[in-house]
Structure 1
Amino acid sequence: MKNNGYQNQYFDYFKKISFILPALLLLLLLTAYPLYQVIIMSFYDYSNTDNPIFAGIENYTRFFVDPLFWKSLINTIIFTIVSVAFSFIIGMTFALLLNQQINTKFRAVFRSVLIFPWLTSSTVVAAIFMLMFNPFGLINHFLSMFGMDTLAQTAWLGNENTALASIIIANVWRSFPFMMLMLLAGLQTIPKDLYEAAELDGAGFFQRLLYITIPSLKNIILTLATLEFIWNFRAFDLVFLMTGGGPMNSTEILSTYIYQFAFRKLDFGYASATALFMLLVMVALSLFYVRKSISKED
């Protein structure tokens, strides 16, 4: 009887696995094999594409002597941290506003308007902000209206001092609605009794925010920050469409850096090694996220 029980249990496991087996095979085909090819390519020199030469770890040691790699890494870190920070601040601000006791129809319409940037494709977002940051665009027009004529002559995407900040603004505009929706969902789960008791004790808005809201949303904030960090660290489309890494490599990030070597310089070996470095960073962040998720369940 016991053996029959084990057999039935294994049979149930097999039935469950069989449902996802086609998807697992497809996933392996689309990810495992290309990853294997990238790993192999990272050990070869493709200066002569007809006859690649085994280069050992030479492609990996180039990281330490290429100033552009370090510049792109620093730009990636700045782009990621600033984007995540401002997306959270703006998302939390609007989530708190939408969580107030206001007219439900107005709140629904306002929420629909605010979610629009998140639903807009990267190509459209890039086109909108390229027009806005144009020397004759909307930003400079408003600056000149307020008497800031010197600043209104700035070519925001053509100036190496302002290009990265301009792209970050566009990226924050596109990504804050996701933060807003997730935080709003979390806010609606916090018992109102906690706020009422805090008000009776004389707690102000910021005290309630620091001692009730943020601690209650700690797990959601950690999850959102990790996911946004991963997504922004591997960002490519917005930067590539708006500046392509220029001017003077001032907006070069790791993804555009890899693109330059792979598809313009045809240095597939070094591009593969750099891509693997980027992958390891994202895997480390993913493991951190999984570990925190498991600890929350425990």
Structure 2
Amino acid sequence: MKNNHVRNDLIDYFRKVSFILPAITLLLLLTAYPLYQVILMSFYDYTDKANPVFSGIKNYAEFIVDPMFWNALKNTVIFTVISVFSGLTIGLTFALLLNQQINTKFRAIFRSILMFPWLTSSTVVAAIFMLLFNPFGLVNKMLSGLGFTEISQTAWLGDEKTALLAVIVANIWRGFPFMMLMLLAGLQTISNDLYEAADIDGAGFFKKLIYITIPQLKNIILTLGILEFIWNFRSFDLVFLMTGGGPMNSTEILSTYIYHHAFRTLDFGYASATALFMLLIMVALSFFYLKSSIKKEGE
């Protein structure tokens, strides 16, 4: 009787595994095998493209001492931190506005309009901001109209001092709607009793924001912050389309740096080693995300 029970459990287990086996197989083919190839290539020297030579940790030693790598890493951190912090701030501001007691139809319309940047493809976003930051574009015309004549002559995407800022502004515009939507969902779960009690105690808007709203949203903010940091850290398309990493490498980030070595100089070994370094950072961030998610579920 016991043996029959064990056999039935095993049959049930293998039946369940068979349902997910195709998906696991596809995942391994599309992820695990390419990753294995990247790890393998990182230990080869591709000076002779037709006959790569095993070089050990040479590629890792080279990118660690390359000033351009550290420049790309610095730009990536600046790009990511400013984008995430600004996106959260703007997203929370609009979420608070949409959470006010307004007509539900108007709220739905405003929310749809504000979601437009997030629904727009990177190609379109890049084209829009390239036109806006053109030397004869709308940004310079507005600055000229406000009396900032000297600043209005700036070629925002062509100046190494302003190019990274221009790309960050475009990235914030594209990314804040998602954060706004998640924070708005979180705001609607906060009990009105907390705000009513605060009103009785004479608390103003900012005190309610600091002592009620933000503490109640801390788990959502933490999750959003980690996810957005991961997504922005590996960002490629917007930077590549707007500046290609220039001018003078002022907007070069890790993803464009890897692309340059892999597909322009065809140094696949060096590019693979750098990509694995980037992957390690992503894995570490993913670990913190999973840890915070498990902690949130346990609360």
> Per-residue displacement from partner, 1:222-246 (whole Å, max 9, x unpaired)?
1100100000000000000000000
Partner of 2:251: 251
Partners of 1:137 and 1:225 lie apart in 2 by 33
Q: Secondary structure at the match of 2:115?
A: helix
Partner of 1:161: 161
Change (3 A) 1:210 1:9: farther
Partners of 1:81 and 1:230 lie apart in 2 by 11
Partner of 2:47: 47
- Does 1:217 pair with 2:194? no
- CA shift at 1:259, angstroms? 0.5
Partner of 1:288: 288
Partners of 1:191 and 1:166 lie apart in 2 by 40
- CA shift at 1:148, angstroms? 0.9
Q: Secondary structure at the match of 2:157?
A: coil
Partner of 2:59: 59
Partners of 1:230 and 1:165 lie apart in 2 by 20
User: 1:141 corresponds to which letter in structure 2?
Assistant: K
- CA shift at 1:8, angstroms? 2.8
Q: How does 1:2-151 map to 2 (within 5 A)?
A: 2-151=2-151
TM-score, normalised with respect to structure 2: 0.98
- CA shift at 1:7, angstroms? 2.9
Partners of 1:189 and 1:273 lie apart in 2 by 45
Identity %: 74
User: 2:129 corresponds to which letter in structure 1?
Assistant: F
Long gaps (5+) in structure 2: none
- CA shift at 1:54, angstroms? 0.8
Change (3 A) 1:248 1:201: same
Partner of 2:204: 204
- Does 1:186 pair with 2:186? yes
- CA shift at 1:20, angstroms? 1.4
Q: Secondary structure at the match of 1:247?
A: coil
Partners of 2:140 and 2:270 lie apart in 1 by 41
- CA shift at 1:68, angstroms? 0.2
User: 1:261 corresponds to which letter in structure 2?
Assistant: H
User: 2:220 corresponds to which letter in structure 1?
Assistant: I
- CA shift at 1:6, angstroms? 3.1
User: 2:65 corresponds to which letter in structure 1?
Assistant: V
- CA shift at 1:9, angstroms? 2.9
- CA shift at 1:263, angstroms? 0.5
Partners of 1:31 and 1:226 lie apart in 2 by 22
Q: Secondary structure at the match of 2:202?
A: coil
> Per-residue displacement from partner, 1:11-65 (whole Å, max 9, x unpaired)?
3332222221101100000011100000000000001011111110010011232
Long gaps (5+) in structure 1: none
Contact 2:144 2:152 in 1 (8 A): yes
Partners of 1:155 and 1:13 lie apart in 2 by 63
Partners of 2:20 and 2:162 lie apart in 1 by 48
Structural RMSD (CA): 0.9
Change (3 A) 1:205 1:2: farther
Partners of 1:230 and 1:121 lie apart in 2 by 19
Partners of 2:189 and 2:142 lie apart in 1 by 41
User: 2:86 corresponds to which letter in structure 1?
Assistant: F
- Does 1:231 pair with 2:236? no
Contact 2:63 2:270 in 1 (8 A): no
- CA shift at 1:175, angstroms? 0.3
Number of residue pairs the alignment of both structures matches: 298
